Chain A
């Protein structure tokens, strides 16, 4: 690897870490601004000034905010996310399984959605402005325009209730055989795919159409390449940077934005966990989940940036 790439990548990573620190400050500050604190939440109605003071002392809440921030940050860095107030359980342990479930679902949704979106985008460009293009764009747009819960329930109605191919409730447990697990996530994965498909497809189409005007595309046509090969070999590699960007944004959505779909299918993922604890005002859990979501978002965007840098031959092969 040549030096400009190493430098650019290092810059991006450093920037990402800085950004993550900033986000952690914001999350911490945000939860401090909320009225009441953990001690009040735990004691609830039975709080007396004395018991509050005692509990605050016990939990270390009477220390200044910055001290508590660094204690929290130090804990996070060593894998200690704290204890959930509502259940008294260790957050890291309860999150681990759920994070794994969320990633599993997102992974399989992405495996279907990303190649499908790109191939549909390529086909749409090949038959641009014809009926195939309009059909693809129309269907993709329609699937995005319907709210997730609507798509979810439609899927449940047909595939679980009417035809009974897949289960309507995606229960998964530890040690579940792979085949059964896949069957359980089929419907939520399909719902997620339909949600993210259009955005990626349309971006692929737009990015490729943008380079279809280039002189090198004409060169390829004048070599006698078939229309599809012109798009695949000559247009697509030059449109990759914007496509990667939108793919990564959608991958991030698959992980952090699946709350509704998880609730519909009663899937034990991060989204449900977050919603549960927001209603319980369980601040440590909300902080931990927020930080994990931010990490996912920032990492994926760094990966997109790096991929776009590496995809650029001018940076990969300097003069």
Chain B
């Protein structure tokens, strides 16, 4: 029966897949948890199935099961994975090795990390093909060059001679796609292939991947947390949550007529209603003509940047990676003393260097980072972490400190019960909330938020943004909000600075910045944000006026 199905075009048939892992919670006995609960799916030859869900939904785990692979001690404990008419789970280690890199290939989230830094790209691209003996080296290299060309990589003839660090992130992601296609597999597992890329680069890579899938008739499992992205490439979409199937249907049905409440929550756009505030008469912090560079480099990371921040308002700084957004934050906080220009605070200039600033100035400017995990000492409790600024800036100790910490926890909508917890015991969203509480504890005038929602799932990020807006109203704190995500900007900013290669290319009130006519870069940035609409990708590519810098 399996044979007849294979002939009819069925490539992958996963039945009642169950995947488990053993976890070792601190101070408790090891226990088994089920990551995937009896999920079934089928995929026909040449079709693309999108797997979508938040982190922990089991999408990558399911994707990798098609190669018989379990990350970090994850075990497939039940069900069948039928590929080309045979259950691969019965093939053992040897069987897995024969199909990996030949029948099924994998494209990882971060190509920059997934390429071996010690070898040239070409050696890595043809490695699987040579290993499985499906072509000679010359044939494989010829095929690879053809794929480089198809994926519109620059210098397709010679790019293979380069090492991974010599190629940009967006290009590497396309080389990785070429690597997957090179051994002419039946199925490719794309695991968040564009998530780590800038929005302007993502669109090019997405288009390249889509064309390559179409022209080579390879089937694909496309894993992502971004519905708008998956809607551009998939024939069908499967929504997963906590390792269970939520909904599975055609792309149009999922995004237009979702049948499940959870899918609906994912699909609906989470606009936060935020009334733009008019800039006050005097800014409390102005950055004037700041130029900065790292080390003694001639390359200026910031070029003549000027922005103003008004009390209780939010200035959003947008731009792609390398545009100087975070460097601007470093210049303001004194971590990177500017070479030229000044930062004035309450009408007086701030010392350039962090070390020269009095404690009071330090208190007024606080920061929240993208990676909440690494921004906290893992061996301190939440109480200690939030209490530290209270002790350091105000000398509040003992019971009074505990009371203030409890108030702050209340403000970030976490209960008193968290006071004795360690960061490792918190979820991603909770960690970021603790970081927010820590910065609020100093009662600053300005909090610099550096990509604070980028590492979070959309629904969690939404909660964080709402919290930040509410706290702004209560505490009248100003935010410098650094992000590459324009949707975020729309929901929380009062004014916007668009940065490109170290310069502010567009600056003003939100309504003004987001109203046409646009300059070329702002237009590129805005038009690159994926929309949940079939055919958006083609339209966006056609309408572009300039190429993105990441390519």
Contacts and interface: CB of A to CB of B under 8 A. Distances in A.
Question: Does A associate with B in a complex?
Answer: yes
Interface of A: 214-216, 218-226, 233-234, 237-238, 313-314, 317, 319
Contacts of B67: 222
B131 A216 contact: no
A-B CB proximity, top 3 nearest: A223-B101, A224-B100, A237-B118
Interface in B271-328: none
Given A234-B116, A313-B163, A218 B131 contact: no
Contact of A221 (B99, B100, B105, B118): B100
Given A215-B110, A224-B102, A317 B116 contact: no
A234 B101 CA distance: 16
Contacts of B116: 216, 219-220, 234, 237-238
B185 to A, nearest CB: 11
A314 B117 contact: yes
A223 B100 contact: yes
Contacts of A224: 96-102, 128, 131-132
A215 B173 CA distance: 14
B114 A216 contact: yes
B91 to A, nearest CB: 12
A238 B115 CA distance: 12
A179 B241 CA distance: 72
A128 to B, nearest CB: 13
A221 B96 CA distance: 10
Interface size class of B (residues with CB under 8 A): 20 to 34
Interface string B80-114: 00000000000000001111111001101010011
Interface string B531-546: 0000000000000000
B100 A238 contact: no
Interface in B18-34: none
B402 interface: no
A224 B129 CA distance: 10
A216 B108 CA distance: 9
A238 B117 contact: yes
11 contacts: A219-B114, A220-B127, A221-B69, A221-B100, A222-B101, A223-B101, A223-B127, A224-B132, A226-B97, A234-B116, A319-B166
Contacts of B142: none
A16 B166 CA distance: 31
Given A237-B119, A238-B116, 9 more contacts: A215-B110, A216-B116, A218-B71, A219-B115, A223-B100, A225-B101, A313-B118, A317-B163, A317-B165
B166 A222 contact: no
Given A216-B115, A220-B116, A313 B132 contact: no
Given A215-B108, A237-B119, A317-B166, A223 B131 contact: yes
Interface of B: 67, 69, 71, 96-102, 105-106, 108, 110, 113-119, 124, 127-128, 131-132, 162-163, 165-166
Nearest to B183: A223
Contact of B131 (A225, A313, A314, A319): A225
Contacts of B96: 224
A216 B127 CA distance: 13
Contact of A216 (B113, B162, B163): B113
Nearest to A226: B97
Contacts of B106: 219, 222
Nearest to A240: B118
Contacts of B101: 222-225
B114 A215 contact: yes
A214 B131 contact: no
A217 to B, nearest CB: 8
Nearest to B102: A224
Nearest to B123: A233
A215 B166 CA distance: 18
A317 B100 CA distance: 31
A319 B69 contact: no
A222 B113 contact: no
A310 to B, nearest CB: 12
A212 to B, nearest CB: 11
Contacts of A216: 113-117
B193 to A, nearest CB: 13
Contacts of A214: 113
A313 B117 contact: yes
A182 to B, nearest CB: 37
Contacts of A219: 106, 108, 114-116, 124
Contacts of A223: 100-101, 105, 127-128, 131
Contacts of B100: 221-224
Contacts of B166: 317, 319
Contacts of B128: 223-224
Contacts of A233: 119
Nearest to A237: B118
